[in-house]
Amino acid sequence: MMRRVLFMLPIVIFTALVAFCAWRLILIARGDTPDLIPSVITDHPAPAFDLPSLLADQTGLKTSDLKGHVTLINFFASWCVPCRAEHPLLIGLKGKGAVLAGMAYKTKPDEAKAWLTEMGDPYDVIATDYDGRTAIDFGVYGVPETYLIDKKGIIRFKQTGPLTSEVIRDRLLPMIGELNQ
Residue 168 has pLDDT above 60, yes or no: yes
Does the pTM surpass 0.85? The reply is no
Residue 110 has pLDDT above 60, yes or no: yes
User: Distance between CA atoms of 174 and 169, rounded to whole angstroms?
Assistant: 7
Please state whether beta strands 125-129 and 99-105 pair in parallel, antiparallel, or not at all (unpaired).
Answer: parallel
SS3 42: coil
Question: Radius of gyration of the chain from Cα atoms?
Answer: 20
Nearest to 71 by CA among 150, 146, 138: 150
- Degrees to nearest 5, angle at CA 101 with 98 and 104: 155
Query: What average pLDDT does the chain have?
Result: 89
pLDDT in tens, 21-79: 667 667 666 655 655 556 678 899 999 999 999 988 888 999 999 999 999 999 999 99
Residue 106 has pLDDT above 80, yes or no: yes
pLDDT in tens, 68-77: 999 999 999 9
